[in-house]
Amino acid sequence: MHRISTQTMIAIDSPFFLQPEELPKQPDWSTIFGNDRPLALEIGCGIGDFVVKTAVDFPDLNFIALDFYNKGCYKSCRRVEKAGLDNVRVGRFEARQFIADYLQPGSLQKVFINCPDPWPKQRHRKRRLVQPAFVKFLADYLVPGGDFHFATDFDDYGIDVAGFMPQLDEFENCLTPDLYRHELANYHRTKYMLKFMAHGARIYFVHYRKAVSPLRLES
């Protein structure tokens, strides 16, 4: 007899949770947040520790925090409520689909991606979220001068992203002459990062900014 594993879904009734069935395509985010501040996006918010601390640092931005895991969204909403923030909304969505369906091109001031699944086996690495095609897709949704932050504890993933980013002419490196750093001032460490750092792992921080006038090579 085979046992079927099922995940118990936690009902999330927080006012800070984006209920998928109630969110219209291409919503008016100024109505949702009650103001017209620029938008920032965190992909893979986990338990919400990073987005809460960062939203405190940037009260002039509205943060959308996405995670695919129901429990993570629940904990993130609880953290937002406990912090008394009004500039964070949490949603359980697949990132690319959410961006295409619910955001307008040129609407994001910042994008944060912290420690996404590294898919460590060689045959699975094509499943990684942060690849050239995805970052170029993100570029369309960032404002000129908008920030792209990527962080990982997985050596190969960090080196790979740091290696392909200079090839994307939509972006400019904010860490020049370095392609990545293991320390980045004023960037909050997630609980996940701290856990791995305690065991000697290094974090790879990559920080680029969308070019105001991207360089296009003549054909």
Catalytic residues, by residue number, are 117
Total Cβ atoms within 10 A of residue 28: 9
Distance of CA 10 to the CA centre of its chain: 23
Is residue 94 annotated as involved in ligand binding? yes
Distance of CA 188 to the CA centre of its chain: 13
Residues in CB range of 67: below 8 A, 6 or more apart: 44, 45, 46, 73, 76, 90, 92
Distance of CA 175 to the CA centre of its chain: 19
Is residue 121 annotated as involved in ligand binding? yes
End-to-end CA gap in the chain: 63
Judge contact between 87 and 81, C-beta under 8 A: no
For residue 153, give the amino acid letter. D
- Annotated binding-site residues for S-adenosyl-L-methionine read 42, 67, 94, 117
**Per the annotation, where are the binding residues for substrate?**
121, 153
